[in-house]
């Protein structure tokens, strides 16, 4: 029996890593085998491309190059990690997936939501998340949180207006896929966020 594919989405400082651990713990307690992974990354090639995408480089990177590198890493990730795990009956929790490219490059970089969605439809027409937890919070709050944990990467150095466009991109995704995307108010306390994540998982798994 095929496993379920769950993705965690959100802008900087939303608490995606904590959300992955909350989801992992609940699913394992419920008796599921769980594979946790991330994008960009998840494979040797993917992690190398992640370093390129997040590092500071002279001259920056064009939006087109950025989105194509994201999808190159994703192509490897899908075939080497995600599909095999799902086919084996494992539940996969992925920190970001194609929704991130739609929000960050399609909306944030201005490439166009529909154009990036077309790339996703070409790369994985038969693979979509079964459930997406969108950790949503005000941009300024998220950036303040992110600034406390580590030195900013190339994305975190972007201006507030960029992240406002990204957040709007996620809102568009949620409106287009209301049955798949569950918005989680990530401005709440950690305990409240965890409770909301578990509630979403219970509803998805039809557990009372």
The string of pLDDT tens digits covering residues 100-130 is 999 999 999 999 999 999 999 999 999 999 9
Does 101 count as an annotated binding residue?
A: no
Q: What is the pTM of this model?
A: 0.94
Structural domains of the chain ordered from first start: 5-37+87-205 (3.40.50.300)
Does 16 count as an annotated binding residue?
A: yes
Does 4 count as an annotated binding residue?
A: no
Tens digits of per-residue pLDDT, 10-48? 999 999 999 999 999 999 999 999 999 999 999 999 999
Q: Which helix (H) or strand (E) holds 153?
A: none
Does 11 count as an annotated binding residue?
A: yes
Residue with tokens 């609940």: 26
Does 17 count as an annotated binding residue?
A: yes
| No. of helices (H) and no. of strands (E), the chain | 9, 5
Half-sphere exposure at residue 128, Cβ-oriented, CA atoms within 13 angstroms: 12
């Amino acid at each position: 029996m095929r496993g379920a594919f769950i993705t965690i989405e959100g802008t900087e400082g939303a608490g995606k890593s904590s959300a992955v651990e909350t989801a992992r713990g609940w699913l394992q307690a419920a008796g599921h085998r769980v594979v946790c992974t991330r994008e960009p990354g998840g494979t040797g090639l993917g992690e190398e491309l992640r370093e390129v995408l997040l590092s500071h480089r002279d001259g920056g990177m064009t939006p087109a190059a950025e989105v194509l590198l994201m999808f190159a890493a994703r192509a490897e990730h899908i075939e080497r990690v995600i599909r095999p795990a799902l086919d084996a009956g494992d539940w996969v929790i992925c920190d970001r997936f194609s929704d991130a490219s739609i929000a960050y490059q399609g909306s944030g970089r201005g490439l166009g939501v529909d154009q990036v969605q077309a790339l996703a439809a070409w790369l994985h027409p038969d693979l979509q998340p079964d459930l997406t937890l969108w950790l949503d919070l005000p941009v300024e709050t998220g950036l303040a949180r992110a600034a406390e944990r580590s030195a900013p990467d190339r994305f975190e150095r972007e201006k507030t207006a960029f992240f406002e466009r990204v957040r709007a991109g996620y809102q568009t995704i949620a409106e287009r896929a209301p049955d798949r995307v569950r918005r989680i108010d990530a401005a709440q306390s950690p305990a409240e966020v965890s409770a909301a994540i578990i509630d979403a998982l219970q509803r998805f798994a039809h557990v009372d």
